[in-house]
Amino acid sequence: MLTLAQIALHVDGVIIGDAECKISNVSTLQAANSQQISFLANSKYKKYLPTSQAGAVIVSKEMASLVKNSAIVVDDPYIAYAKIATLLNPPKKITTGISPTAMIEAGVTILKTVSIGPQVVIEANVILADNVVIGAGTVLQDEVIVGENTRIAENVTICHGVEIGKNVVIHPGVVIGADGFGIVNDKGKWIKIPQIGGVKIGNDVEIGANTTVDRGAIEDTVIGDGVKLDNQIQVGHNVIIGNNTVIAGCSGIAGSTIIGENCIIGGGVGIGGHIEIADNVIITGMSMVTKSLTKAGIYSSGIPAEPTSQWHKNVVRYRQMDKLAARVKKLEHPDIGNITK
In a domain, 248, yes or no: yes
Residues 172 and 251 in one domain: yes
For residue 330, what pLDDT is reported? 87
What pTM, to 2 d.p., does this model score? 0.91
Are 65 and 46 within 8 A, CB to CB? Answer: no
Identify whether residues 290 and 318 lie together within a single domain: no
The reported pLDDT for the residue numbered 341 is 47
- Do 140 and 83 have their domain in common? no
Q: Residue ranges of the chain with pLDDT lower than 50?
A: 341
Q: Which of 58, 88, 118 is the last residue of a domain?
A: 88
Residues 83 and 135 in one domain: no
Q: Which pLDDT does position 338 carry in this prediction?
A: 56
Which class for 190: exposed (0-12), middle (13-18), buried (19 or more C-beta within 10 A)?
exposed
Tally of domains in the chain: 3
Distances (CA, A) of 193 to 28, 149, 254, 258, 306: 51, 36, 16, 21, 44
- The SS3 assignment for 157 reads strand
Are the C-beta atoms of residues 213 and 176 closer than 8 Å to each other? yes
* Strands 212-214, 175-178: pairing kind: parallel
Catalytic residues: 237
24 plus 166 within the same structural domain: no
The pLDDT value given to residue 336 = 63
- The answer to whether residues 41 and 179 belong to one domain is no
> Do 43 and 130 have their domain in common?
no
- Tell whether 312 and 295 lie within a shared domain: no
Domain extent at residue 314: 308-341
What pairing do the DSSP bridges indicate for beta strands 70-73 and 14-16? antiparallel
162 and 292 together in one domain? yes
Residue 211: inside a domain, yes or no?
yes
- Is the separation of the CB atoms in 161 and 177 below 8 Å? yes
